[in-house]
């Protein structure tokens, strides 16, 4: 296996020791896709290589991708998008993803659609009182994957980052959880080591053909999507931070004072979900100026999200989600002394 910089490059015929596990007829890959086309852009080569080895693939599609008004306005020559129009658009995108999966060698029954709201996964998580995690846990348990591909927590699309949180919470507490691979579609890659998959010429051609099946998305964003799909498929294993019971945690953000009245802080763990306006959040501040949440119980993993409550045409997250790490004893002592 060749290693270049921070990435381990893996070709279909290469031993994956130290990278991805070898694929075989026993491999069961679950791809969690927030929207139709994510499965092709992020995992088109991975899907084909598992299928070529005789493994089974299932696609768990979280939304119908129906809240995508500008391509719909362009293709349907309409300005106002009503509920019935969105449902029709969702059916169109469902037909497109089925065609894309057929091109990648995945049969129609392997697609499971949950039908959650497009651009609304964060609300599903924050308002569902654990129901969303239970639904995901059931879907994962029924398929029994040994490998799960899920969006990276750092992906700036709100549905993608939240999808990561939902899956991590759905898997929390499992004695033998599947290996979790993260992929990035929107945003910059982080510096940690990742595994890069190389496809054969035929597999790369199939991936381009599968992307072309998403005609509704290619209409206005064809060049951008083609660039995304042409990037090497890179995956990182989700790293689970060690958090001891009772450990307080530092937030990675220090938002300016003038913006704080319009900020909302949310915390999600297996124990539940809580949200506050910034001024009402149970925050403490250490001598270095870092904000901390109070000690938690034994629940893990634990995620926090910072978001602006003002409406904006910009759909991507500025802060998004992060996983709360354990804090060093020195930082805990400094905060206790400051308090």
Residues 131 and 53 in one domain: yes
* 116 and 253 housed in the same domain: no
- Per-chain mean pLDDT for the chain: 87
- Domain-located, residue 118: yes
Q: Do 233 and 309 belong to one domain?
A: no
Cα dihedral 117, 120, 122, 123 sign: negative
pLDDT of residue 1: 31
What is the mean pLDDT of the segment spanning 170-195?
85
Contact status, residue 114 vs residue 135, Cβ threshold 8 Å: yes
Q: Which pLDDT value is given to residue 188?
A: 80
Which of 200, 217, 237 is at the close of a domain? 237
pLDDT tens sequence across 284-306: 998 888 999 887 766 678 999 99
Tell me the DSSP string of 13-81. TS--TTSSPPP-TT-EEEEEESSTTHHHHHHHHHHHHHHHTT-EEEEEEEE-----HHHHHHHHT-S--
Whether residues 93 and 230 fall in one domain: yes
Where a domain ends, among 237, 272, 302?
Answer: 237
Q: Residue 222: which H helix or E strand, with range? A: helix 215-230
Asked whether the predicted pLDDT for residue 7 surpasses 80, the reply is: no
Is 257 in the same domain as 232? Answer: no
Tokens of 212: 């072309």
Do both 94 and 194 map to the same domain?
yes
Mean pLDDT to the nearest integer, 65-78: 94
pLDDT score of 21: 81
Tell me, yes or no, whether 103 and 200 share the same domain: yes
Per-residue pLDDT tens over the stretch 114-123: 999 999 999 9
Which CATH number does the domain housing residue 75 bear?
3.40.50.10320
Segment 167-196 shows an average pLDDT of 87
Judge if 148 and 177 occupy the same domain.
yes
The 10s digit of each residue's pLDDT in 211-229 is 999 999 999 999 999 999 9
pTM above 0.85, yes or no: yes
When pLDDT is averaged across residues 174-201 and rounded to a whole number, the result is: 86
Q: Which residue has the higher pLDDT, 177 or 8?
A: 177
pLDDT of residue 324: 86
Assigned domain for 243 exists: no
Co-location of 172 and 84 in the same domain:
yes
Q: Are residues 223 and 299 in the same domain?
A: no
pLDDT at residue number 240: 52
| CA–CA distance, 232 with 41 (Å, rounded to integer) | 10
Domain termination site, one of 237, 264, 282? 237
**Overall domain count for the chain:** 2
Check whether 247 has a pLDDT greater than 50. Answer: yes
With 50 as the cut, is the pLDDT of residue 129 above it?
yes
In this prediction, residues 85-99 reach a mean pLDDT of 97
Supply the DSSP symbol for 145: -
Q: What is the mean pLDDT of residues 95-112?
A: 98
Q: Which of 149-153, 166-170, 238-242 has the lowest mean pLDDT?
A: 238-242
Q: Are residues 192 and 272 in the same domain?
A: no
Range of the structural domain that residue 198 is part of: 2-237
Q: What is the pLDDT of residue 92?
A: 97
Do 135 and 272 sit in the same domain of this protein? no
Element holding 137 (H helix, E strand): helix 131-143
């Amino acid at each position: 296996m060749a290693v270049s910089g921070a990435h381990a490059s893996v070709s279909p015929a290469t031993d994956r020791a130290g990278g991805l596990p070898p694929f075989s007829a026993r491999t069961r890959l679950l791809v969690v896709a927030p929207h139709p086309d994510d499965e092709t852009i992020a995992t088109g080569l991975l899907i084909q290589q598992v299928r070529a080895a005789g493994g089974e693939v299932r696609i768990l599609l979280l939304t119908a991708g129906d809240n995508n008004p500008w391509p719909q306005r362009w293709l349907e020559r309409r300005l106002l998008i009503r509920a019935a129009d969105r449902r029709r658009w969702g059916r169109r995108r469902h037909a497109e993803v089925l065609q894309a999966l057929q091109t990648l060698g995945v049969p129609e029954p392997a697609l499971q659609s949950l039908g959650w709201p497009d651009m609304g996964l964060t609300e599903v998580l924050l308002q569902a009182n654990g129901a969303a995690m239970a639904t995901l846990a059931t879907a994962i348990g029924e398929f029994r994957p040994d490998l799960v591909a899920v969006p990276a927590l750092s992906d700036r699309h709100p549905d993608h980052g939240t999808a990561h949180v939902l899956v991590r919470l759905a898997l929390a507490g499992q004695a033998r959880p599947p290996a979790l691979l993260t992929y990035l579609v929107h945003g910059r890659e982080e510096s940690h080591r990742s595994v890069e998959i190389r496809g054969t010429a035929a597999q790369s051609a199939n991936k381009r053909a599968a992307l072309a099946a998403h005609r509704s998305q290619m209409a206005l964003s064809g060049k951008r999507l083609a660039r995304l799909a042409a990037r090497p498929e890179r995956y990182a294993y989700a790293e689970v931070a060690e958090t001891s019971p009772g450990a307080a945690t530092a937030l990675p953000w220090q938002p300016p004072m003038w913006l704080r009245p319009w900020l909302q802080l949310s915390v999600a763990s297996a124990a539940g979900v809580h949200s506050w306006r910034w001024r009402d959040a149970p925050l403490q501040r250490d001598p270095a100026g870092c904000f901390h949440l109070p000690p938690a119980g034994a629940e893990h993993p634990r995620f926090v999200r910072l978001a602006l409550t003002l409406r904006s045409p910009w759909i991507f997250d500025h802060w998004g989600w992060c996983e709360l790490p354990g804090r060093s004893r020195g930082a805990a002592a400094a905060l206790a002394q400051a308090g």
